[in-house]
Chains A and B, each alone.
Chain A
Amino acid sequence: MRFWGQALEVARVDFRIEAREGEVIRIVMPFAVMALLVFPLAMGLDLSTLERIGPAVFWALGVLFGMQVALRQSAEEAVSRKDLYALAGLDPAARFAGRALSGTLLTIGFFAALWLGMVVVYSPGLPAGWPGPTAMATALVAIGLTELGTLAGEVTAGLRNRTALASLIVAPLAVPLVVGGSQTMDSLARDESILPWVLLLLATDLALAVAGVGLARPLEEASR
């Protein structure tokens, strides 16, 4: 089976496991919805303020909970499963690609639900022509976050404080994604070009993809 065949097989099984475990829908999503409601509850019904902070809240919660999707427990692999994959001839780079693919699609679904919730709760004044650029920016952020989470998971595989360590690795590296995503929306609202921010997101995603594919084998071997 070639690279993409293996990657698609890994992604397919990841989806099947997520469908059964329901970690994103049953655990991450309810907490994200609760967090969405915290700001209106804390600030009262000051509608003009809520309208202004809506997109910022979306990006803050998107990154926080998006990382939870990328680093979810069900995506962890026991040593025995890693050995099984190695002996089945699974290319670690294909495994990275497959996990990043399934994680990206899950994160995009999560972002879509979170965006919908934000629009309902905050009723932000959205600029004309927002759907296309917003969808593109959120998709690029989702790709980057998932690549980052998958990479951090590989770097910290087998370590005792895995979750805490992975978050520490991810937080600083997620900055370009947060800046790119939020500034795309801001530029759109101010009727400025979104190109620099889209390029920043694309460059970050590409760099993470190259790092993930290139480092997959050495990281896997080092984690044994």
Chain B
Amino acid sequence: MPISLNSVGFGLGGFTILSDVTVSVEPGEVIGVIGANGSGKTTLIRMMATLVSPREGSGMVLGARLGTGEVYPVRKRIGVISHLPAVIGQLTLEEHLRHVIRLAGLDTDRIPAALRAVGLDGAAERSGSASSFGMLRRTEVARLLISEPELLLLDEAFSGLDSEAGSLIDTLIARTLAREGAVVLVSHDRSHMQSASRVFSIGGGTLRTAP
């Protein structure tokens, strides 16, 4: 099972961010999580990405127990698009992709095709700091087209995108599902949840099935 969280909790600086969260995601499934700003959506995504460990409860992601060294090797199989694009501003978009793809030990020959697929072949030499939000988002999509993650975690991935760029995210979801991967879609906007088979709402750090 890609994700299995059992009564997990997380807090920071005396504040509870997640409390008694239980959820599982099956292979080939898309689940959606909706919630207002500050409801714990991003922390939930980071926990599913193994980047934070639960303070309470237990969880498994791609067969690795959260909070243990088992998570390090599975991280390469997880793809995340966060609400803030993670593109190195001082590099060109192509250089950034090459850097990350090299670190991951993947084939850099696939970069030109990926840039073409996201419509950035004409902007590959533009630096990250001189690129628009949409271009940075497309760069992230290009990275995930190459890395082909088994678990795709999308945190407000549709925000600030035009319909064409939004369809690229849909393509990413479709390709992940075609590989029997799983997708978690997080947004404050219910209209982005069409592809989700189950939708949850998060509020005050607690996850409930959305009406």
Interfacial residues, chain A to chain B (CB-CB below 8 A): 1, 5-6, 9-10, 13, 16-17, 20-21, 74, 78, 80-81, 83-90, 217, 224
Are A89 and B104 neighbours in the complex by a CB distance under 8 Å?
A: yes
Contacts of A83 in B (CB 8 A): 46, 49, 51, 80, 82, 86
> How long is the Cα–Cα vector from A148 to B100 in the complex, in angstroms?
26
User: Can you spell out 29 A-B residue pairs with CB atoms less than 8 angstroms apart?
Assistant: A1-B102, A1-B104, A6-B103, A9-B102, A9-B103, A13-B91, A16-B91, A17-B88, A17-B90, A20-B90, A74-B90, A80-B85, A81-B86, A81-B88, A83-B51, A83-B80, A83-B82, A84-B100, A85-B103, A86-B51, A86-B75, A87-B75, A87-B76, A87-B78, A87-B79, A88-B100, A89-B103, A224-B46, A224-B52
Contacts of A86 in B (CB 8 A): 51, 75
> How long is the Cα–Cα vector from A9 to B80 in the complex, in angstroms?
22
> How long is the Cα–Cα vector from A146 to B100 in the complex, in angstroms?
24
Give chain A nearest CB distance to B176 CB in angstroms. Answer: 15
The residue among B82, B85, B100 with the most chain A CB atoms within 10 A of its own CB is B100
Interface string of B62-98 (1 = CB under 8 A from A): 0000000000110110111010111010110001000
B198 within 8 Å of A by Cβ? no
Residue of B nearest to A17 (CB): B90
Contacts of A21 in B (CB 8 A): 90
> How long is the Cα–Cα vector from A74 to B88 in the complex, in angstroms?
11
Residue of A nearest to B75 (CB): A87
> How long is the Cα–Cα vector from A1 to B100 in the complex, in angstroms?
11
Give chain B nearest CB distance to A16 CB in angstroms. Answer: 7
